[in-house]
Amino acid sequence: MVNVAVVIPCFRASSTILSVISGIGAEVSSIIVVDDACPERSGKLVVDTCTDTRVSVTFHSVNQGVGGAVKTGYQIALDSGADVVVKLDADGQMDPRLIELFLFPILRGRADYSKGNRFETIENLAEMPKIRLLGNAFLSLCSKISTGYWRLNDPTNGYTAISSDALRLIGLSKVDSGYFFESDMLFRLSLARCVVEDVSMLSRYRGEHSSLNIPKTIFEFPLKHLRNFLKRIFYQYYLREWSIASFELPLGILLAMFGLSIGFSSFLSGLDSGLGITPGQATVSSLFLLLGVQFLLGFLSFDLNASPDFPKTARFRRSSDD
């Protein structure tokens, strides 16, 4: 029997945590609630009220952020021998009845990590608050670039499941402890060459207050995605192995920049002389620019098809083949 653990980070969730726990089905072996120094004492409420014997509660004396709380829960699940760990938020927006859908790709040996995708259906997009819709669309693009998982959407979705094998591979202590946690998980999974699969889901929006700082996120997330992109490119195309894409990227950048610099300098000199840019200068500039763009498109094409397709979760792959 597969040992499935559910991790629930808690912060300001006293009104919803009990209903979330009560909705978790019998396919789950243990439920790990992590009270992240919750001012509403959500964890104490669970200890005093919940009678489910699968539930254990861990308390943080200092708030560590949602990622820090999840990492604590992940480590407890690993130490207790869990085979698959599901992460479920305590605010009631994630339906616990969907847990089996998230387990399926892992238990069938198709994926190491499954995550929710709220972008699959038009109906769900219509219900999503517009600011979340725009923000998630932008962050999805940033995540595709930084992680190389070009076919995945909704990177900030916190409804996830991961095999214990994959969890040990990624270096849990290195994952971001704040709201960038989900995106950074995808980055770490990409470095470990783990297979990730989207699971279509609906979210329930009930007007819950989010403690996410939108202005801070707008500036912080793109910078972190840029950092991860540069790391991924270095690890994937230069440190781990070399390929044609390893040459296409620098050549494309250099040729495009050279073409732009020729065109810009020719334009400025033409303004000073009053003669404008000559056909020869325009041709040379365009030639180098087009060559650079062609190399960059070649790199992008290679990167689009470089996503891992062989799960690390060998034990489930074997059982699904039997």
Give the separation between CA 285 and CA 255, rounded to whole angstroms. Answer: 10
Give the separation between CA 128 and CA 126, rounded to whole angstroms. Answer: 6
Contact (CB, 8 A) for 101 and 4: no
Specify the pairing of strand 84-87 against strand 160-163.
Answer: antiparallel
State pTM to two decimals: 0.88
Give the separation between CA 140 and CA 138, rounded to whole angstroms. Answer: 5
Give the separation between CA 170 and CA 26, rounded to whole angstroms. Answer: 29
Return the closest-CA partner of residue 36 out of 5, 14, 4, 6: 14
Residues 141-146: contacts with CB under 8 Å, at least 24 apart? 142/183, 142/221, 142/222, 142/225, 143/183, 143/186, 143/225, 145/225, 145/229, 146/183, 146/187, 146/225, 146/226, 146/228, 146/229, 146/232
| Every domain of the chain and the residues it spans | 4-237, 242-304
Which residues, at least 6 apart from 193, have a Cβ–Cβ distance to it below 8 Å? 308, 312
Name the 3-class secondary structure at 13.
Answer: coil
DSSP secondary structure of 170-192? S-GGGS-SSTTHHHHHHHHHHHT
Neighbours of 322 (CB within 10 A): 4
* Stretch (H or E) spanning 30: strand 30-36
Q: Which CATH superfamily includes the segment(s) 4-237?
A: Spore Coat Polysaccharide Biosynthesis Protein SpsA; Chain A (3.90.550.10)
The letter for the amino acid at 239 is L
Contact (CB, 8 A) for 63 and 11: yes
| Tens of pLDDT, residue by residue, the chain (322 residues) | 899 999 999 999 999 999 999 999 999 999 999 999 999 999 999 999 999 999 999 999 999 999 999 999 999 999 999 999 999 999 988 999 999 999 999 999 999 999 999 887 766 666 666 766 777 788 889 999 999 999 998 888 999 999 999 999 999 999 999 989 999 999 999 999 999 999 998 766 655 555 555 566 677 889 999 999 999 999 999 999 899 999 999 999 999 999 999 888 887 887 777 677 778 888 899 999 999 999 999 999 999 999 887 787 666 665 555 4
